[in-house]
Amino acid sequence: MEHGPELPVSSEPDRFLQDQAQAHGAEGLASVRLLNTGQEAFEARAALIETARQRIDAQYYIWNDDATGRYLASRLVAAADRGVVVRLLLDDINVAGKESLFALLDAHHRIDVRIFNPSRARDGFGRWLSFITDFDRINRRMHNKTFVADGLAGIAGGRNIGDGYFDQHPTLNFRDRDVLVLGDLANAMTDNFEAYWRSAWTLPLAALYERPEAHSAEPDLATLAVAGSQHLVVTPPADRDTARRYLVESFNSLVQAPADLVFDPPPEDPAAPADKPQQTAQALYRLMDSARSEILIESAYLVLDDQQMKIMDSFGNSKVDVAALTNSLATNDLVTNHSGYARWRKAMLRQGIDLHELRPDAPACHRWVAANAACRAGEVSLHSKAVVFDRQTLFIGSFNVNLRSIYLNGETVLIIRSPELAGQVADDIRYAMEPENSWQVTLDDQGGLLWHGGAQQFAHEPRVGFWRRAMSRVLSWLPIEKYL
């Protein structure tokens, strides 16, 4: 089934998004708004689904089959029922185990699901074996995350689709950031989407899995709406009027500023050597080179090597203060990724980077996660990706400051030249670096590592047991950081 970019003619004229784009547009400027909590990011996506009249394009690295994933899927079905063309583009690396949800969506005649860079084997041991035998190709992943309604309003940022990204998980929630845009930047997101949608390495879901029989699919689609909403902490806007009121309020707080969208196009040959920084990385380098006083980095996975630090050292702005917030071993959801950071942690400190690692008990969780009960019952993990330059320019999107984003993954970022938004994010990063929220990492007189948190000081990574520390240490000996 082929859905081109042409928009179908709606049976009911509806200019809500067009009117909003015109009302909030300013010549030469983008209209943008930060989505700082998972709850508002979830509500914004739900509202755009209810408001869309012609087409929805959604591109994600992960779409979980959980409460929020099923709920948003059910609303895509409802949108398709009223005539909206839905195109869902997913990276293959996290499709396994969720095939039935995507097959149900793809069974709808107005919903088309495609998978980027799929492995040849689809399940079991063969799937994992294909990761080894086809290593170079399989490592080129679509990490981009965009959501666009009618080519007029969209969301880009770091969040995948799932409970932990939307403040809905009872224990572990991710601190993340998205940007809601209105107008021309949404068209740029569509260009991003089309590049991957039409890639030779993107295949229809139906080419990989059998579709459910029509007679068995319809009852499941009909019950999907209630199945996804049973455990939601918040009630999202589930009808057009409520969605419009929500969006009007959101659009009224848009900021007008110069902004650009940069994305990495899909590789023509994923198996070719990935030895050159991609477009998003090059954009980051240019911004780093132009910084004059301060660079603040917020990255879930912070993995640099000697070559990257030499690049940073060659920028000719040695008086710039560089501070970075990343996950501690206690908050990192992937020990492997932490090991790549740990391998180069001392080198980063020797180069003068001010390092801070998030604490699992950070009281900042109550500011970031709308469902505060989850902060009391569990912990928070950093998943956001943003860099602020001189409190003037914001680099934000799916890009982690790590080797995988630099060389391997497809990424999407927004570069927003707004002192207002850059200042907001800078203040939030500095708040997260306070001793109650993160441990500052330093070198002692003998070159060993120390973790400082207020009056407390640790000579090893805090709040984790011996075996987790040992696993991270052993993995850090392996030169695999490019693939983490």
Q: What pLDDT score does 212 carry?
A: 63
Active site residue 310: no
- Answer for the pair 383, 159: CB distance below 8 angstroms, yes or no: yes
- Quick one: average pLDDT of 67-95? 94
Is residue 115 predicted with pLDDT exceeding 60? yes
Q: What pLDDT score does 225 carry?
A: 56
- DSSP tag of 161: B
Confidence of residue 131 (pLDDT cuts 50, 70, 90): confident
User: Which residue did the predictor score with more confidence, 210 or 258?
Assistant: 258
The whole-model pTM stands at 0.94
Active site residue 260: no
Q: Using one digit for the tens of pLDDT, what is the confidence trace for 407-434?
A: 999 999 999 999 999 999 999 999 999 9
27: helix, strand or coil: coil
Of 2-16, 112-126, 302-316, 397-411, the poorest mean pLDDT is in 2-16
Sequence-distant (≥ 6) Cβ neighbours of residue 444 within 8 angstroms: 450
CA distance 438 to 358: 4
Q: Using one digit for the tens of pLDDT, what is the confidence trace for 156-199?
A: 999 999 999 999 988 888 999 999 999 999 999 999 999 999 99
Active-site residue (options: 143, 169, 338, 356): 143
Pick the closest to residue 221 from 119, 95, 107 (CA basis).
107
The two structure tokens encoding residue 467? 């075996």
- DSSP tag of 397: E
Q: Please give, one letter per residue, the 3-state secondary structure of 284-302.
A: HHHHHHHCCCEEEEEECCC
CA distance 238 to 41: 15
Q: What are phi and psi of 203, to 5 degrees?
A: -120, 150
- Answer for the pair 116, 92: CB distance below 8 angstroms, yes or no: yes
Active site residue 385: yes
Confidence of residue 3 (pLDDT cuts 50, 70, 90): very low
Q: What pLDDT score does 375 carry?
A: 85
Rg (CA), the chain: 22
For the chain, what percent of residues have pLDDT higher than 70? 92
Active-site residue (options: 220, 231, 390, 452): 390
Q: What pLDDT score does 6 carry?
A: 47
Active site residue 241: no
Q: What pLDDT score does 112 carry?
A: 97
Is residue 83 predicted with pLDDT exceeding 90? yes
Can you list the domains of the chain with their CATH numbers? Answer: 16-251 (3.30.870.10), 273-483 (3.30.870.10)
Q: What pLDDT score does 4 carry?
A: 45
Confidence of residue 228 (pLDDT cuts 50, 70, 90): low
- Answer for the pair 422, 429: CB distance below 8 angstroms, yes or no: no
Active site residue 178: no
User: Which residue did the predictor score with more confidence, 305 or 216?
Assistant: 305
- Answer for the pair 136, 271: CB distance below 8 angstroms, yes or no: yes
Beta bridge partners of 112: 87
Q: What pLDDT score does 1 carry?
A: 39
Pick the closest to residue 418 from 303, 285, 259 (CA basis).
259
Active-site residue (options: 145, 169, 338, 356): 145
Active-site residue (options: 108, 169, 356, 383): 383
Neighbour-count burial for 247-276, b at 16+ CB within 10 Å, e otherwise: beebbeebbbbebebbbbebbeebeeebee
- DSSP tag of 64: -
Confidence of residue 470 (pLDDT cuts 50, 70, 90): confident
Q: What are phi and psi of 140, to 5 degrees?
A: -90, 105
Active site residue 145: yes
Pick the closest to residue 176 from 195, 156, 191 (CA basis).
156
Confidence of residue 11 (pLDDT cuts 50, 70, 90): very low
Sheet holding 354-358, edge to edge: 259-263, 412-416, 393-397, 385-389, 294-299, 321-327, 354-358, 438-443, 449-453, 456-458
Check the CA dihedral 407-203-396-171 and report its sign: negative
Cβ-based neighbour number of residue 355 at 10 Å: 24
Q: Using one digit for the tens of pLDDT, what is the confidence trace for 197-216?
A: 999 999 999 999 876 665 55
- Quick one: average pLDDT of 31-43? 96
- DSSP string for residues in 400-457: -SBHIIIIISB-EEEEE--HHHHHHHHHHHHHHTSTTTEEEEEE-TTS-EEEEETTEE
In 129-204, the DSSP E strands lie at 146-149, 153-157, 172-175, 178-182, 202-204
The two structure tokens encoding residue 160? 């995948």
Confidence of residue 97 (pLDDT cuts 50, 70, 90): confident
Element (H, E) at 247: helix 240-251
Is residue 10 predicted with pLDDT exceeding 70? no
Active-site residue (options: 92, 178, 385, 428): 385
Is residue 387 predicted with pLDDT exceeding 70? yes
Q: Pick from 25-29, 130-134, 340-344, 424-428 the range whose average pLDDT is largest.
A: 424-428
Q: What pLDDT score does 233 carry?
A: 78
Output the average pLDDT for the chain. 90
For the chain, what percent of residues have pLDDT higher than 90? 70
Pick the closest to residue 3 from 156, 190, 222, 208 (CA basis).
190
- Quick one: average pLDDT of 321-347? 94
Q: Using one digit for the tens of pLDDT, what is the confidence trace for 351-386?
A: 999 999 999 999 999 999 887 777 887 788 999 999
Active-site residue (options: 91, 92, 112, 150): 150
- DSSP tag of 63: B
Q: Between helices 67-81 and 214-229, what is the axis angle to 10°?
A: 120
